[in-house]
Amino acid sequence: MAVLHFMVQAKGGAGKTTCCVLLAQYLSQNERPVSCFCTDNMNRSFSQYKAFDVESVSLLNEDKSIAPQLFDPFFEKLLGLSEDVHAIIDNGASSSIPLCG
């Protein structure tokens, strides 16, 4: 299984995206395979870094609750990554509590 790096914090502006960018840059420069994901429905800053080919993933319903029909396929994708891959997931403040639940 891949190494999963979740950046989760319920407060906006805490530096989640900055941490994701720094980690992705460090791993890439050290020739580690990286897969990047942005699950922040409100602020898709991480997905704007084109160098990391960040995949935007929606995990929430309109009422901001976790959408199991979206959540399960995303985790199946993460679990299907090869064991040498570092998956970096930038999770937004709006979905941090439902994700942890």
Show contacts of 10-15: CB within 8 Å, 24+ apart: 10/93, 10/96, 10/97, 11/93, 12/42, 12/43, 12/92, 12/93, 14/93
Check: CB of residue 46 under 8 Å from CB of residue 21.
Answer: yes
Q: What digits encode the pLDDT tens for the residues 22-50? A: 999 999 999 999 999 998 877 788 988 89
Check: CB of residue 81 under 8 Å from CB of residue 1.
Answer: yes
Give the separation between CA 83 and CA 50, rounded to whole angstroms: 24
Check: CB of residue 58 under 8 Å from CB of residue 41.
Answer: yes
Q: What digits encode the pLDDT tens for the residues 51-100? A: 999 999 988 888 877 788 888 899 899 999 999 999 999 987 766 766 77
Give the separation between CA 66 and CA 11, rounded to whole angstroms: 18
The amino acid occupying position 84 is D
Kindly report the pTM of this predicted structure. 0.87
